[in-house]
């Protein structure tokens, strides 16, 4: 029986896999799939060598402590590939492990399908050369990545829809238009202070002060999305400043409801782009992280994914000491006072979902053809 290796070492990787694996399985009834995944992939027929709950790790110290496990697992996976005569491997994200595994598998003549390209353009650009030598096909989720990797020697690169396009699939055609006239009688501002304790405690006070400044001139209704793993005290401290609280599971509702956002840098700023929600993006990092970013990362472009994929600064960005409530309030004031500026920004944001749609092809059909070759 033919076999195919699939590595989804994190929950996000399993979610990526579930977007194509059930159909791929149906297209390849004579193929045995084995590797790393979770309960959902197991239910769809993946023979688990390792469960992702044992495979994934959080934080630098945990990764270091698991290095012996990862090397042992890599050797075992290589042995299984040899024993089963595997000719194709689907490696999903999980960069540090999968990049090393791709090199080893390619030496055995295995065709590597690397799903979700590493962000080598921002961090470790030499990885493009490694991919050029080791992968059969690289699948990218950001529109500019295809040309970037092609230019660096990766011959076959295919664009796939960004995962958020799948997450919000049923909502993106139902986004309220929110014309300039809708800003009256109350302007609804959504606060997204992040998911990590440091950034919430750093940014939320700045965002609240920004709102207080704006309230001196405008009628503002404040909405805020909480995260469950952060103690409630920080949110409760500002409860008199916030009109409506949401749980993180209600982010979609919050974005549809509001006119503007103050947000911590992260994937959520691409979500606000998709929902055509003008956003001021802020980034606060611990001193060690700031030192690493300034001294070891060559990338100096925008930090917001919406800005990155559009190739222009649609969302104003403020980092570290630049996060000043008066400056943040001035940006939102400009949007509120200038209908032309507001309309132009909304028109640009409407293009976001088109930019993230990927190439027009079927991932399961393409993979099944590679497996059957």
* Residue count of the chain: 373
Answer yes or no: is 255 within a domain.
yes
The mean of the pLDDT values for the chain is 91
Question: Looking at the structure, do residues 116 and 189 belong to the same domain, yes or no?
Answer: no
* pLDDT tens digits along 219-255: 999 999 999 888 889 999 999 999 999 999 999 999 9
Q: 167 in a domain, yes or no? A: no
Whole-model pTM: value is 0.84
φ and ψ at 211, to 5 degrees?
Answer: -60, -45
Whether residue 348 is found in the same domain as residue 364: no
Query: What mean pLDDT do residues 118-146 have?
Result: 92
Q: Identify the sign of the CA torsion 205, 209, 212, 218.
A: negative
Structure tokens at 214: 């704006």
Distance between CA atoms of residues 204 and 324, nearest Å: 12
307, 226: one domain: yes
DSSP lists the bridge partners of residue 34 as: 5, 47
Same domain membership, residue 131 and residue 203: no
Structural domain boundaries enclosing 80: 2-160+358-372
Flag whether pLDDT at 290 surpasses 50. no
Q: Which two tokens stand for residue 6?
A: 């699939």
The answer on 155 and 34 residing in a single domain is yes
Kindly provide the b/e burial profile for residues 18-32, where b requires at least 16 CB atoms within 10 angstroms of the residue's own CB: bbbbbebbebbeebe
Which spans in the chain are helix H?
11-18, 21-27, 39-43, 52-55, 60-65, 67-84, 95-107, 127-134, 145-151, 163-167, 197-214, 233-237, 251-257, 268-274, 287-296, 305-310, 325-337, 339-349, 352-355, 363-372
> Within this chain, do residues 325 and 202 fall inside the same structural domain, yes or no?
yes
pLDDT of residue 144: 92
pLDDT recorded at residue 105: 97
Domains held by the chain: number:
2
d(CA 353, CA 187): 25
Euclidean distance between CA atoms 147 and 17, whole angstroms: 24
Co-location of 155 and 67 in the same domain: yes
Q: Indicate which CATH number applies to the domain containing 232.
A: 3.40.50.2000
Give 3-state DSSP helix, strand, coil % of the chain, rounded to 5.
Answer: 50, 15, 35
Structure-model confidence comparison of residues 2 and 320, the more confident one: 2
What is the tens place of the pLDDT at every residue in 94-112? 998 999 999 999 999 999 9
317 with 337, same domain?
Answer: yes
Average pLDDT of the residues in 299-307: 81
Same domain, 48 and 180: no
Instruction: Give the pLDDT confidence score for residue 232 in this predicted structure.
Output: 87
Alpha carbon of residue 155 to chain centroid: 25
Q: Are 135 and 104 in contact (CB under 8 A)?
A: no
> Cα separation of 276 and 294, whole Å?
31
Provide the pLDDT confidence category of residue 300 given band limits of 50, 70 and 90: low
147 and 241 assigned to the same domain:
no
Q: Do 111 and 250 sit in the same domain of this protein?
A: no
Measured torsion, CA atoms of residues 224, 227, 232, 238, in degrees rounded to the nearest 10 = -20
Question: Do residues 25 and 41 lie in contact, with contact meaning Cβ atoms separated by under 8 Å?
Answer: no
- pLDDT tens column, 4-40: 999 999 888 999 999 999 999 999 999 999 999 999 9
Terminus-to-terminus CA distance in the chain, angstroms?
A: 14
Distance CA 228, CA 209 (A): 23
Cβ neighbours, 10 Å, residue 152: 16
Report residue 185: phi and psi, to 5°. -85, -20
Asked, for residue 165, whether it belongs to a domain, the answer is no
- Residue 336 pLDDT class (50, 70, 90 cuts): very high
Cβ atoms of 153 and 53 within 8 Å: the answer is: no
Sign of CA dihedral 293, 294, 296, 298: positive
Whole-number pLDDT of residue 295:
45
Structure tokens at 159: 């664009």
Task: Indicate if the pLDDT at residue 294 is higher than 70.
Answer: no
Sheet of 88-92: strands edge to edge? 47-51, 31-37, 2-7, 88-92, 111-115, 137-140, 157-159
pLDDT at residue 250, as a whole number: 96
Structure tokens at 369: 């053809």
Mean pLDDT over residues 115-129, rounded? 88
Claim to verify: residue 111 and residue 206 sit in the same structural domain = no
User: What pLDDT was estimated at residue 302?
Assistant: 82
124 vs 39, which has greater pLDDT?
39
Indicate the SS3 state at residue 258: coil
Integer-rounded Cα radius of gyration of the chain: 23
Would you say residue 225 lies in a domain? yes
66-85 average pLDDT score: 93
Q: CB atoms < 10 A from the CB of 333, how many? A: 14
């Amino acid at each position: 029986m033919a076999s195919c290796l699939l590595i989804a070492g994190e929950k996000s990787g399993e979610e990526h896999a579930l977007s194509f694996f059930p159909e791929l399985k149906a297209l390849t009834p004579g193929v045995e799939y084995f590797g790393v995944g979770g309960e959902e992939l197991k239910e769809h027929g993946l023979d688990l060598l390792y469960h992702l709950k044992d495979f994934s790790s959080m934080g630098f110290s945990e990764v270091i402590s698991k290095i012996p496990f990862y090397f042992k697992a890599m050797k075992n996976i290589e042995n299984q590939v040899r024993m089963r005569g595997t000719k194709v491997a689907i490696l999903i994200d999980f960069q540090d492990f999968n990049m090393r595994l791709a090199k080893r598998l390619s030496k055995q003549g295995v065709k590597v399908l690397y799903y979700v390209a590493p962000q080598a353009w921002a961090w470790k650009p030499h990885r493009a050369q490694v991919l050029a030598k080791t992968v059969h096909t690289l699948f990218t989720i950001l529109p500019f990545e295809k040309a970037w990797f092609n230019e660096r020697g990766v011959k076959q690169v295919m664009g796939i829809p960004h995962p958020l396009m799948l997450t919000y699939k049923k909502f993106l055609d139902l986004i309220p238009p929110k014309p300039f006239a809708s800003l009256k009688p109350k302007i609804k501002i959504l606060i997204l202070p992040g998911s990590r304790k440091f950034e919430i405690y750093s940014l939320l006070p700045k965002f609240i002060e920004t709102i207080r400044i704006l309230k001196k001139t405008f009628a503002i209704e404040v909405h805020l999305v909480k995260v469950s793993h952060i103690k409630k005290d920080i949110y409760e401290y500002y409860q008199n400043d916030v009109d409506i609280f949401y749980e993180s599971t209600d982010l979609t509702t919050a974005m549809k409801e509001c006119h503007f956002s103050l947000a911590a840098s992260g994937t959520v700023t691409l979500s606000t782009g998709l929902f055509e929600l003008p956003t001021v993006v802020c980034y606060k990092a611990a001193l060690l992280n700031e030192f690493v970013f300034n001294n070891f990362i060559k990338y100096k472009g925008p930090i917001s994914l919406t800005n990155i994929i559009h190739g222009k600064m649609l969302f104003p960005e403020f980092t570290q000491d630049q996060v000043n409530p008066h400056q943040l309030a001035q940006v939102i004031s400009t949007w509120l006072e200038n209908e032309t500026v507001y309309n132009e920004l909304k028109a640009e944001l409407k293009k976001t979902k088109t930019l993230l749609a990927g190439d027009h092809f079927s991932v399961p059909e393409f993979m099944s053809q590679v497996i059957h070759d």
